[in-house]
Amino acid sequence: MPSAIGLRFALSLGPHGAQLALRSGLWRPRFELLESLVWPAQTGEAQRAAHLPPTLDALLLRHAVAGSALEVLVADVWAPSASVQPPAKGATLADLQAATALRLRAVTDAASGWECASEPRVGGPFMASALRSGVLDLLRDQCQRHRLHLVSVQPLFAAVWNHWHGALAPGQWLGICSAGVLTLCVAPKRHVAHVRRLDFAAAHAQEPRWPLDAAKREGLRLGVAAPSALVLCGAVPAPWRNPVPAALGARRGPSAAYLGPVGDALGLWGLQP
């Protein structure tokens, strides 16, 4: 069996399955998909949690991973993200941490069992993520069992934002589509100020202007200007992918642009599902 010492693997944990890839390259990484697994149909949160330990153990056993590094990409079902508004009269680190805990508690609807991560800033809203403690403990245990060095655990939302936010012009919003959910990243100054998650039905997926109208409504609810353009990526329905003509966009609100299928690990890694 070949040695994995010096190699770097990438593991994705998503709502529908898991993928293991081999990463090569530093500044422009390339990924080779080694194995893709699908959770049983109609798998809920409790079932996913029950399947994860034996599935992950068997997946790592089937590949020569001992002595290598592992980076993990975690979908929203395991690691939800939210925007945090810093306290109006508090700028200490403790104040920011308290605001982060309260916001993530509202997102996860639980007072305990989560580990929080954020990069707090006092100048405006900032992003924070929560990861189930059991998932993080499992990853650490599996890395110890298979002699892996765990180098990073990153929420998918953060990975997609980091990948694409440089393509945004001032006033544009990023829309991430995945599994029937449109996540709107409101970023008036290229910092995420708000995150809105909107479920959309099959009928909505056939309406080319639905995401644009939804963005306009959310802007009104938040009290911010509508986006100058909505930049879409991920599992975007085909009717949404064609850019709205400039003249029509000028009359009816923001226009749309399609970046590419990067709403999941395979797309983000440049692989075909």
pLDDT in tens, 89-104: 766 888 888 888 888 7
Question: Using an 8 Å Cβ cutoff, are 155 and 131 in contact?
Answer: yes
**Fold for the domain defined by 8-77+131-160:** Nucleotidyltransferase; domain 5 (3.30.420)
Question: Using an 8 Å Cβ cutoff, are 210 and 193 in contact?
Answer: no
pTM: 0.75
Question: Using an 8 Å Cβ cutoff, are 257 and 227 in contact?
Answer: no
Is residue 170 scored above 90 in pLDDT?
no
Q: Residue 87 and residue 93: Cα distance in Å, rounded?
A: 11
Range 44-50, long-range pairs (CB < 8 A, 24+ positions): 45/77, 48/15, 48/77, 49/132, 49/134, 49/135
pLDDT at 1: 42
Q: Where in the chain is the domain with CATH 3.30.420.40?
A: 8-77+131-160
pLDDT at 127: 79
pLDDT at 247: 34
Confidence of residue 248 (pLDDT cuts 50, 70, 90): very low
pLDDT at 183: 85
168-263 carries CATH number 3.30.420? yes
pLDDT in tens, 32-84: 889 988 877 665 667 777 778 888 999 999 998 899 999 998 887 778 887 78
